[in-house]
Amino acid sequence: MTWAFEELRSLIRRDWSTGQALAVEVAECLDAFDGDPAALVMAARRILVQRPAESTLWWTCTRVLCAADPGLEIRAVIDALLGDSTAERVAEALPFPSDEVVAFVGWSDVLPALHVQRPDVELVVVRTATERSVASRVREHGLDVRIVDPVDAGALGVTRVLLEPTVVSPEVTLVPSGVLDSTALIDAPQWLVCPLGIVLPDALARSVHTQLERHDRAADTSFDPTPPYELLDLTRIDRAIGPQGVGPISTVARQPQCPVAAELLRLA
């Protein structure tokens, strides 16, 4: 069992691994704890203490902890993440054919697939004050997209702004700080992009928020991949897109894709 904890420790310390790809790897590691409920809970709590901003990990861990058969649920979680259709739903929601300029504010894991599916749409990525890795991620995926400042995005005639939040619920929706300042400089409708694992029940979303605040206050942290976050006022959002398609943000935010594991509501 020690090797499984060490493998998880290695995974969660990789600051370049995020989102659904990280959640799939973590789920595969959690399979080693199937049959030992106490160790499974301990592993899940350790993961979320270290990576509190990864809502897809909260989604993964709570599904596994609440399952009658964790091993079976782990396989279902992995299949669901690998089959997430959010990029396809975004591609369908944009006019076709299109000469629009669509801006992502900061990095989004939906961007690579959308770039392939809709080559007719001019995509740009808007830098934010706290996004340090957007250029390297664009290069890593070989994307032919421009990276621009918010003022330049406004001058390009952007017709739609896409945001991928950290977590979404009716009460708590968080985005990296700098996102709100950037979007304020672009006069275009704002759409929230919500890949599988982003929408959580309010109780879990509040736990994410609490853990992020605790994480930011930690005085001596040798590994800290977590940038500051701020609350998003959902009235600023025109539409939201998730795996099930486009809808009002009030509807999408009320479609949590996992139960609530009581063991994850209070983390040490």
Mean pLDDT calculated for residue range 54-68: 95
Q: Output the pLDDT for position 15.
A: 67
Domain identity same for 90 and 142: yes
CB burial string 159-183: b at 16+ within 10 A, e below: bbbbbbbbbbbbebbbbbebbbebb
Pick from 82, 54, 89, 59: nearest CA to 242: 89
What total number of domains does the chain contain? 2
pLDDT, tens digit, 9 for 90 and up, residues 66-108 = 999 999 999 999 999 999 999 999 999 998 877 889 999 988 9
Q: Is residue 168 part of a domain?
A: yes
Number of H helices, E strands in the chain: 12, 9
Pick from 149, 238, 231: nearest CA to 192: 238
Could you tell me if 209 and 174 are in contact, meaning their C-beta atoms sit under 8 angstroms apart?
A: yes
Mean pLDDT calculated for residue range 11-20: 78
Mean pLDDT calculated for residue range 155-172: 91
Tell which wins on pLDDT, 193 or 140: 193
| DSSP tag of 142 | T
The least confident of 55-64, 72-81, 151-160, 162-171 is 151-160
Per-position DSSP letters for 24-45, written without gaps between them:
HHHHHHHGGGTT-HHHHHHHHH
Q: In the structure encoding, which two tokens stand for residue 104, read together?
A: 């992502």
Residue 164 pLDDT level (bands cut at 50, 70, 90): very high
pLDDT, tens digit, 9 for 90 and up, residues 101-155 = 999 998 898 999 999 999 989 999 998 876 667 888 888 888 888 999 888 887 8
Using alpha carbons only, how large is the chain's radius of gyration in Å? 18
> CA-CA distance, 254 to 232, in Å (whole number)?
16
- Cis amide linkage into residue 97, ω under 30° from 0: yes
pTM for this structure? 0.90
Pick from 211, 194, 182: nearest CA to 110: 194
pLDDT reading at 2 higher than 90: no
| Residue 149 domain boundaries | 86-200+220-252
Label the pairing between strands 239-242 and 245-247: antiparallel
Residue 185 pLDDT level (bands cut at 50, 70, 90): confident
pLDDT, tens digit, 9 for 90 and up, residues 207-264 = 999 998 886 666 444 445 545 889 999 888 989 999 989 988 888 877 777 899 999 9
Q: Is residue 210 part of a domain?
A: no
Could you tell me if 27 and 71 are in contact, meaning their C-beta atoms sit under 8 angstroms apart?
A: no
Q: Is residue 213 part of a domain?
A: no
Domain identity same for 158 and 132: yes
- CATH at residue 91: 3.40.50.10470
Q: Is residue 56 part of a domain?
A: yes
> CA-CA distance, 267 to 50, in Å (whole number)?
11
> CA-CA distance, 229 to 216, in Å (whole number)?
10
Q: Is residue 214 part of a domain?
A: no
Q: Is residue 161 part of a domain?
A: yes
- Alpha-carbon dihedral angle through residues 259, 261, 266, 268, given to the nearest 10 degrees: -130
Domain identity same for 93 and 60: no
